[in-house]
Every structure is written in structure tokens, then in C-alpha cells.
Amino acid sequence: MKSAMPEKFDVIVVGAGPAGTACAYTCAKNGLKVLQIERGEYPGSKNVMGGVLYRKQLEEIIPEFWKEAPLERPIVEQNFWLMDKNSVVKFGYKGLEWGEEPYNNFTVLRAKFDQWFAQKAVEQGSLLINETVVKECIVENGKVVGVRTDRPDGDVYADVVVLADGVNSLLAKQLGFRKELRPDEVALAVMEVINLPKEKINDRFNVNDNQGCTIEIFGDSTKGNLGTAFIYTNKDSINIGVGTTLSSMIKSKMKPYDLLDQLKNHPMVSPLLEGGESAEYLAHLIPEGGYNSVPKVVGNGVVVVGDAAQLVNAIHREGSNMAMASGRMAAEAIIKAKERNDFSEAGLSSYRDALYESFIIKDLQKYKDAAHTFEENPQYFQYYLPMLNKAMSEFFTVDGVPKKDKQKEMMKMLTGEKGKLNVIKDIYRAWKAVK
């Protein structure tokens, strides 16, 4: 069959997750000719996250998006659980100001949300094609000029290619922008969506129909591995999941699905899920290497955004918001480059500048040693957490022991075998890692 001259676009965006779609949306809105290519059956079909969507960064792209986006519940309560085998120390914050416009964050189901978001980009004039895998970037004279897909007559050209192909970006690797991911740079998260009637969710989590609740769980939820578990409330389902770094899973020889099973059956957790029906089971890698893992993000005719650029703040469970912000920044740089008709690395470098001046890289830099510190020092999860549970138990137990003696006992428990000096050292180390 004769094939016509392949078409040329201003921008090709590879991937229809939050980063790619934010970029496609912003480019199309500014009149650029955009082609967005997604490998899944539809945007969101292959995308996974715990389920918290932050308002701020999406609002900067689509003002008042909450009036039409398929969101689950605005989050009014966020909790931390420090969990031991048969106990838990809880703290959190509930504020009704989060239940009103403009809201703080929302729970979402990605399969629905990503489709909606991608459709918004299509409405701006971006062309979206699904079920198409980009195999490689077409490079001519040291410049990316297009992509090669797995379809017949599958080459297509553009001034700029945006790599939004996710955590294990094979395209960024092909261009030599990054090395193979190390097991300590990625977490493996598994999660389930469990259907539960709205009334039960409202009762069990003490919320109204339009109020959501999040719980981040440390300690026994990961069996001492470096990682966290989470429970988020949707409209009539619950997201529950657990993620730990691949390296700690390898070290402890634990399987992610076993961790999730144990979590679901944990006595502190199982009453929340009782009677629920498992609707979806998902697993995904999360880039948690932080600042040190961020690859080269700009080249000749190419930029890297979102997970592909390893833009995730694991400590604050932020990822999709960084993805969207990076996608928007990349789009703004592309629009500038188009005005000057300079798509070289220098011409696109304003993306890198914007990224490094923004909260994204600043936050990643702040926590650049955090994961490493906690991975190298398992005592935080394995020693202090159970001790804290025991101390709290002591505090609340009325057994005729004078309070002064109790406090002494609690301090002894916390410092215990380690001695005061070591405890102070540990506290200082943890503080340094996150300060």
C-alpha cells in the first residue's frame, strides 16, 4: 500500500497521564498542533495512584475544575497511624474549611479522572490516539524529530516530543537521559478498590456524603519495610494499598500482595473493610529516588515530564500534582520555543529553569536524603514505633500507678536498651533528613 508523507505536528506527547495531558492541554489551548499517544485502551486504563488529587496544580491549568471533574470526595480529614501488631497510635487533622470551595484535595479514581482530563485536552484541539505504543524517538542529527510507533506506517514527526511515558520511561533511557532504575529508587505499590455502600463508609469513617478521609499507615502495615500503607475513601468504595521500596522487599523477601493481604486482615484495619467487595486490583512502580534520580529533562527537540522525570515526593505522597505542574511548565517552554522557532536544548531550557525554581525540585531537594536515612536505619520503624505504642498504652491505662512514675516508665521504654544518647542521635538524624 502506498503511504503518504507522514504528518508533522508541533508537539507529540507520549503518554496520557496527568503530566502528558497537562502538557497537551496547555499546548493545544495556545494554538499548537498536538498529537497525544497513549498505549492503554483509554487514558487511565494503565495508570495507578493511591487516589489523592491536589487542587492547586490542576486549578492552575483548569480553573474550578471541581465543578465538572469526576472526583470522589473532597478530603476533610487526614490521619497518620503508627501501627503495631495489636495497637495503633493515631493523630490527624479534620477541618471543615477543606469541605468548601476551593477545597484542598480530593480522592479520585484514576480510570475515570484521567479519561476526563484527556477529554478536556481533546476539547482544546489536541488529537488523542489510544492503544498505540511508541517504540522509540526518531533522532536525526542529534535532534529528536518524531516518534516511531508499533503501528504500520507508524512514524510521525514533530518539533518537540514530550516524554510523559511514566516511571520506567524507556524513551528517556533510549536517549541516554537516565540509567536503569535501581531497586532503591522505586517503590512497588499494590492496591485494591473495595466497593462498600456509601452509608457504611460514612459511618465507619465518621464523614458525610461529600467528605473524604485519608489514613497513612506506618509500621506494622509494611512489616518493618521502608514504606507506607494507605486507606482513602471514595464515594462508594475504599482504596487500600501498601507500597515499599523494591530494595527493602528484596531484603526482607516479602511479596507485595502478601503485605496487602496482611494489611487487609490487620485487626486495626479489617473492621473498616468488612463486607466490602473487591472491585479492582492494581499494582504500579512509583519513582521514589527523589532529587538524586531526576534525569536530564531537556534535550534537542525533547522534554521529560512527570514520573518519567522521577518527580515524586514520597514523604508527602505528592506525585500527580508535580506531574501536572511539570507538564504545564514544559508546555509554556514549548510555546516560547515556538515563538522563536528554536527547539534546541537551549531553546527549551526555560522548562528546566522553571522546574528547578518551582516547589517541585525544591521539595525533592529538601528530602533528598530522607529515604536513604530511613532505609539505612530500620530502627525507626522496627524499634521506636512499637515502643511508642507501648508508651501510649501505658499513658492511657489506669492501674493505680502514680502519673509521675508512669512518665518515668514511659521515658524508660522509649530510650530503653538504646540509651538516651543513641535516641537523641536518632532523633537528630531523622530531623536532619526531613528538615
Q: Which is nearer to another protein, 129 or 346 (CB)?
A: 129
Residue from 3, 141, 341, 397 touching another protein (CB under 8 A): that is 3
Per rule CB under 8 A, is residue 151 in the interface with another protein?
A: yes
Is residue 165 a contact partner of residue 15, using CB atoms and an 8 Å limit? Answer: yes
Q: Count the Cβ atoms, other than its own, within 10 Å of residue 376.
A: 10
Burial class from Cβ neighbours inside 10 Å (0-12, 13-18, 19+) for residue 381 reads buried
Phi then psi for residue 335, to 5 deg, are -60, -45
Residue tagged 505536528 (cell numbers) = 9
Touching another protein, residues 6-35 (CB under 8 A):
6-7, 35
Out of 101, 141, 152, 341, name the contact with another protein by CB under 8 A.
152
Smallest separation (angstroms) from another protein to the CB of 166: 20
Q: Whole-angstrom Cα distance, residue 145 to residue 296?
A: 18
Taking the C-alpha atoms of residue 321 and residue 68, their distance in angstroms, rounded to an integer, is 18
d(CA 16, CA 21): 5
Burial class (CB in 10 A: 0-12, 13-18, 19+), 86: exposed
Nearer to another protein, 34 or 213 (CB): 34
Among 11, 71, 121, 128, binds another protein (CB under 8 A): 128
4 binding another protein? (CB under 8 A): yes
Q: How many Å separate Cα 199 from the centre of its chain?
A: 29
Helix H or strand E encompassing 322: helix 320-340
Residues 34-63, interacting with another protein (CB under 8 A): 35
Question: What single letter denotes the amino acid at residue 317?
Answer: R
Q: Least distance from C-beta 278 to another protein, angstroms?
A: 15
Which of 34/391 has CB closer to another protein? 34
Number of residues counted as binding another protein (CB under 8 A): 18
2 binds another protein, rule: CB under 8 A: no
The one segment of 88-96, 124-132, 136-144, 237-245 that binds another protein by CB under 8 A:
124-132
With contact defined as beta carbons under 8 Å apart, do 337 and 348 qualify?
Answer: yes
Task: Verify binding: residue 398, another protein, rule CB under 8 A.
Answer: no
| 271 lies in the binding site for another protein (CB under 8 A) | no
Question: Binding to another protein by residue 341, rule CB under 8 A?
Answer: no
State the sign of the Cα–Cα–Cα–Cα dihedral 159, 160, 165, 170: positive
> Where on the phi/psi map is residue 31: left (φ > 0), alpha (ψ -120 to 50), or beta?
left
Cell triple for residue 122? Answer: 481533546
Q: Among the candidate windows 52-60, 148-156, 180-188, 379-387, which touches another protein by CB under 8 A?
A: 148-156
Q: Is 123 in the site for another protein (CB under 8 A)?
A: no
161 binds another protein (CB under 8 A): no
Min dist. Cβ of residue 37 to another protein (A) = 9
Collect all residues with Cβ–Cβ distance below 8 Å to 235 and sequence separation of at least 6: 72, 73, 198, 209
Q: Which one among 47, 105, 107, 149 touches another protein, defined by CB under 8 A?
A: 149
Q: Which residue of 59, 60, 155, 426 would you call a contact of another protein, by CB under 8 A?
A: 155
Q: Which is nearer to another protein, 41 or 258 (CB)?
A: 41
CB of 41 to another protein, least distance (A): 8
What one-character-per-residue DSSP string does 135-147 give?
Answer: EEEEEETTEEEEE
Given the complex with another protein, which of 1 and 96 has the nearer CB atom? 1
Q: What residues make contact with another protein under the rule CB under 8 A?
A: 1, 3-4, 6-7, 35, 127-129, 132, 149-156
